[in-house]
């Protein structure tokens, strides 16, 4: 289901760089907020809860809710507190691929 995001870029986007997401290449803006860049690319859910499997996406965008957890280069981190960098490898353990662009 496509949703319009209430996200607006405040500065000029960085140059496009390639990252690896769940085993495939994806172009995001260098230095952009990883959570915002993934949402803008139509990536969701970011994870699923371990008990019920409920889908989770970024909520607070300020490091408080932990709903944006993804694995970045083998370490579980908050996407909203991470800047995009070329070559980073991101995975969404337990998240079923529901990417809008699939
Ligand atoms: S969106 Fe809440 S911690 Fe990242």
Query: Domains (ranges, CATH) in the chain?
Result: 16-91 (3.10.20.30)
Residues 6 or more apart whose Cβ sits within 8 Å of residue 63: 78, 80, 81
Show pLDDT as tens, one digit a residue, over the chain (102 residues).
455 666 677 788 889 999 999 999 999 999 999 999 999 999 999 999 989 999 999 999 999 999 999 999 999 999 999 999 999 999 997 775 555 444
Ligand 1, residues at Cβ distance < 6 Å: 35, 58-61, 63-68, 78, 80
Cα dist from 17 to 6, 30, 34, 90, whole Å: 24, 6, 12, 14
Residue 96 CA, ligand 1 centroid: distance in Å:
19
pTM: predicted TM-score of the whole model, two decimal places: 0.85
Q: Counting atoms of ligand 1 from 1, which one is nearest the CA of 59? A: 1
């Amino acid at each position: 289901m496509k949703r319009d995001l209430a996200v607006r870029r405040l500065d000029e986007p960085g140059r496009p760089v390639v990252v690896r997401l769940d085993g495939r290449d994806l172009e995001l803006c260098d230095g952009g907020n990883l959570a915002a860049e993934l949402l803008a690319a139509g990536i969701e859910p970011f994870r699923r809860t371990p008990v019920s499997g409920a889908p989770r996406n970024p909520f607070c965008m300020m490091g408080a809710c932990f709903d944006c957890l993804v694995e970045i280069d083998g370490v579980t981190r908050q996407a909203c507190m991470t800047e995009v960098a070329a070559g980073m490898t991101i995975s969404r353990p337990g998240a079923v691929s529901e990417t809008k662009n699939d």
